[in-house]
Amino acid sequence: MRNLLTLLAGALCVTTLTSCVESKHPLSDPAAAKQDASLYGVWVSKDASSITYTHIGADGITEEGKGSPPGMMRFANVNHQEAKGKPPSLESAGSGRFFVTQIGAERYANFYFPLDIDRKEEQLHAPAFMFARYQVEEDTLKIWLMDPDPIAKAIEKKLLPGTVERPAPGKAFALPKVTATANSEEWTAFLQTEAGKKSFLEEPLTYRRLRK
């Protein structure tokens, strides 16, 4: 079941029992980001028990000097849950802001969730970022979420700056806390290495566009 951070595709904590990768810095400067119009629209994803609709567009500017930088985008999810013998239930599955970074031929989404959406300084200095790689082919959106395990190993091998807090042995259902402290330049270099290219889950989340 998709959790609250199911990004574009829902958000960024992995939808299976794994931890998230949090980064202290984005992949690029959000103030210099540009809109990716190929993401605009209403997208749908289905599984055995639910249908998720994801709305993506440009983030609004509230007033001069406040609100989002021009390249900031926004997503909002609505989830329809179905259970046998029960009426369908409707719930919000999360919303947030993100911007796009292109590194070589690959496009990445930088996600974060400011507490005050009207204050530019809080949008530019989020407490943590999370990343996903994505690809748009006509009306199909594929999103590869970051896999915490190879990132944790890269940090422990000093290939990427950061910290890994692993749970005590024998602790049930405990997940490691993975925090990257790499700056934008270090992330860019890492993601172009073989280890960086393998830092995302193999199976993408797949969405179909309903309308632009």
pLDDT tens-digit map of 181-198: 999 999 999 999 999 999
Strands 177-180 and 205-211: unpaired
Stretch 9-22: mean pLDDT, rounded? 51
Beta-bridge partner residues of 131: 110
Taking 50 as the threshold, does the pLDDT of residue 9 lie above it?
no
Q: Indicate yes or no: pTM above 0.75.
A: yes
Q: If DSSP codes are grouped into helix, strand and coil, which group holds residue 124?
A: helix
**Average pLDDT of the segment spanning 36-59:** 92
Token readout for 59 is: 């983030």
Average pLDDT value over all residues in the chain: 81
pLDDT at position 126: 59
**Backbone phi, then psi, for 70, in 5-degree steps?**
-55, -30
Beta strands in the chain (DSSP E): 21-23, 41-46, 50-58, 73-81, 89-103, 106-112, 130-137, 140-145, 162-165, 177-180, 205-211
